[in-house]
């Protein structure tokens, strides 16, 4: 199964790497470099999954997640935080804001795609193709 993924990430290098890895497994990625443009993109077309950086300029990822969750059409779309926030309590705050999952940066290119698609499988109950490129 190929997923349509929205990536909301302000760092150009992170956008490139994430997009490259996901494209290698047939997933399509649309990028937004800040919260407002990410929300606009999410409302413009349907996505299977949203990857969300938390430390965004202007509107942080917490606010983006809350805004998306308050929108009826977005309530069942898995939102995965991909962030450098790794202090005690950060994971809980991110999940409380409306994210379904949490991955710490820097990402592991060997397991990233499998980790991301497992969140989609867990949220929707659907089965995805095996995209593991390494062990977890």
Q: Is residue 53 predicted with pLDDT exceeding 60? A: yes
Please give the span between the terminal C-alpha atoms of the chain, in angstroms, as a whole number. 20
pTM: 0.87
Query: What is the distance between the alpha carbons of residues 133 and 136, in angstroms, rounded to a whole number?
Result: 9
Contact 7, 31 (CB under 8 A): yes
Kindly report, residue by residue over 60-109, the tens digit of the pLDDT. 999 999 999 999 999 999 999 999 887 878 899 999 999 999 999 999 99
pLDDT of residue 85: 80
Give CA separation, 107 vs 50, 72, 86, 104, in Å: 16, 30, 13, 6
pLDDT tens string 12-48: 999 999 999 999 999 999 999 999 999 999 999 999 9
Query: If you compute the radius of gyration of the chain from its CA atoms, what whole number of angstroms results?
Result: 14
């Amino acid at each position: 199964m190929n997923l349509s993924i929205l990536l909301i990430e302000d760092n150009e290098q992170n956008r490139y790497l994430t997009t490259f890895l996901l494209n290698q497994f047939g997933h399509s990625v649309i990028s937004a470099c800040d919260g407002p443009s990410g929300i606009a993109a999410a409302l413009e077309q349907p996505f299977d999954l949203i990857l969300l950086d938390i430390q965004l300029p202007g509107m942080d990822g917490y606010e983006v997640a809350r805004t998306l969750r308050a929108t009826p059409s977005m309530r069942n779309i898995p939102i995965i935080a991909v962030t450098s926030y790794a202090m005690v309590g950060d994971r809980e705050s991110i999940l409380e804001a409306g994210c379904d999952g949490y991955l710490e940066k820097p990402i592991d290119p060997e397991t990233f795609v499998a980790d991301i698609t497992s969140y989609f499988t867990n949220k929707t109950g659907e089965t995805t193709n095996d995209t593991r490129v390494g062990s977890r």
